[in-house]
Structures are given as structure tokens and as C-alpha cells.
Amino acid sequence: MKKLLIAIFKIPKQKIIVEKNQIELLIRLKDLLEHGFTLSEAFRFLLKHIKVKSSKVTVLIEEELKNGANCHRILRILKYPQPVVMLIYFSELFSDLPVSLAHAHDYLLRNYNAKKALLKTLQYPLLLLTVFITMLIVLNHTIIPEFQNLYNNMDVQISTLQQFLSTCILCFPTFISYLIILLFITTIAFILYYNTLSIQHKHKLVLALPIIRKFFKLYKTYRIASEFSLFYKNGVNLQKIVQIYAEQRNDKYLNFLADRITLGTQNGLTLSEILTNIACFEKELTEFIEEGEKKGRVEIELKLYSEIVIAQIERYLQLLIKFIQPCIFTLLAFLIVSLYLVIMLPMFDLMQTIK
């Protein structure tokens, strides 16, 4: 019961350093290591020039560096995303840190640019929509009631279309308010429920959501392609990969993956068949693995495929942006035209009555 309550009320922790600085730190760290700095020297130098939001964290990092902490440990303290921490951890096992730092930097930079593009695309139409709704609320309580009283006093007949548009204008601010509250409550309830599920049931739930499903599968595919490319590059066999995954107590997803691969190999399945059965990866992943196994260069195939996947994520996000923005502008256009018709059509009828 205690674990259930902890899972339900788990609150995401604040970032120790801003996302832009997280990205810069990785590439600067790579450059310093390539120029002969030790890991502790590089981190001490960088933390002097990058703002950390908590002085306690800076002290903790200093203590960890004195005790010989590895790079992934420092990145975990700085609240880097789990896939980045694990990629760096695996690279440290095989002395491949600079290359993986560049790979992680590219991953975070692409994510940052994608989110920035999404925000930039949405902020202008959302600002217009907010201003219009505010104006609509003011009009609904001032000008529109006066016009309606005037039309009633002059016995102006309102058509069905005008009544429909008038209802839309009057109810839209209230509808938006209720919609925001409903979405907020639904999101909170979904997150609370999601946190109580096992990894397998989390996958089933996310894979049932139309748009999120595609991004989820691409994200998981990118991660496993990057990690397996690193493993195969350093001659690690599947049994050792499973052992490494099973030892990661801070990542339940990797534990789940280790269990499924172990179970699959015990049943005589190939890696491609196991990953297909897990169902949270793109089917092209298994095709690249099979092709790489035939040619004896799986690590190169997977490295190439991970780059293809991250490009696919960017393209899908751009398509989503191109779809959302016109929808918001179309809604705004409908509301503006409706407001004009609600006020002006009865006015024309009134002028004809006066004549």
C-alpha cells in the first residue's frame, strides 16, 4: 500500500540546470576530455560557468568527484534524462565516453529544437485565441445583451442560423473553461493511474493512444538501437547485454527488457522475434538487425538506423505542428465570422424594418 501511494503522489523534480545548459555541458565536456582534461577537472571547470540552481547539488557533485564518481553518476545528480544517463553508463563500461557524449548531445539538441519549434508555432495562435476569448467574455456581458434587447424591443425575427451562432458565441468561453478543467483532471488522473502500472501494462496503455503511440515506438526504437549499437561495437554478446540490463535497478524498463529477452532465448527465439513480440518497437528495427547479422556489421546498421529514427521523430513532430496550427486559426476564423454575423445580420433586418 505504501508503494502504491508513493507511486500515485510522485511529483517530478525540478531541473537542476536548464535544458539549454544541459545540452551545452555535454558537448563542452566532450571537448575538454578530448583535450586531455580528467573527468573531475572537466566537471569542475564547467560547473564554474554553468548555473546550477541548488548550491547543495554543487557541493554534492564536488564530493562525488573527490570520491572518484563516474560521468553517469554526475549526470544523474544533474537530472539528465534516463536514456542519456544509461547511454553514458554503457559507454563508460567500454571506454567510449567522448563518442557517446556527442551522440547524447545530438539527441538532446534535436529534442530541444523540436520542442522549441512546437512552442514557437503554437504560441502566436494560442495568444490570439486567448485575447479573442477575453474580448468575447467582455462582449457577452456588455454589448451583445444590449443588441439582443434592442432586437427584442423592435420585434426583429432571429433566424435559426443566427440563434445557433449566438449560442456558440455565448457558450464558447464557458465551454473552453470546462474543457480546460476536464483536460487537467483527466491528465492528472491518467498520470496517477499510469504510475501504478507495471512496465508491460504501461506499454499496452500507451500503445492504445493513437498519436502518442507513434512517438512512443520511435523513442523506444531509437533508444534500443543506440544502446545495442554500442554493445555490438564493443563485442558484447546478447547474454552479457541481458546481464547488464538486469543489473540496472534504477531503470525498470531495462529490467523488463532483460526478462523478456531471457524468456525469449529460453524458448528458442531469435533477437528479432523477441523484439517483435515485445511490440513497442518499429518493425524496421528487426529488419536492420537481421540484415546486419547477415553482413556481420550489426553495430553499423543499428547506428545508422538510430539516426534515421531520430530524423523520423522530427518529421512526425513537424507534421503534427502543421496540422495543429491551421486548426486553431480555423477555429478563430469561425468565431470571428460568427461574432460579426450575430451582431450585423439582425442589424440589417432592423434597418429593413425601420424602412
Nearest-angstrom CA–CA distance, 307 and 318: 17
> 0.85 exceeded by the pTM?
no
pLDDT exceeds cutoff 70 at 29: yes
Sign of CA dihedral 90, 92, 97, 101: positive
pLDDT exceeds cutoff 60 at 245: yes
**Whole-number pLDDT of residue 349:** 65
Reference 111, options 230, 23, 210; nearest CA is 23
**Whole-number pLDDT of residue 71:** 93
pLDDT exceeds cutoff 70 at 156: no
Reference 224, options 239, 241, 208; nearest CA is 241
The tens digit of pLDDT for each residue in 145-154 reads 777 777 777 7
CA 280 to chain centre: 16
Query: Is 214:282 a contact under the CB 8 Å cutoff?
Result: no
Query: Is 270:70 a contact under the CB 8 Å cutoff?
Result: no
- CA distances to 9, 138, 193, 204, 235 from 4, in Å: 9, 46, 10, 20, 41
User: What's the CA dihedral at 13, 19, 25, 30 to 10 degrees?
Assistant: 100
pLDDT exceeds cutoff 50 at 5: no
Confidence at 4, pLDDT banded by 50, 70, 90: very low
Amino acid at 265: T
Nearest-angstrom CA–CA distance, 73 and 71: 5
Reference 278, options 194, 216, 190; nearest CA is 216
pLDDT exceeds cutoff 70 at 283: yes
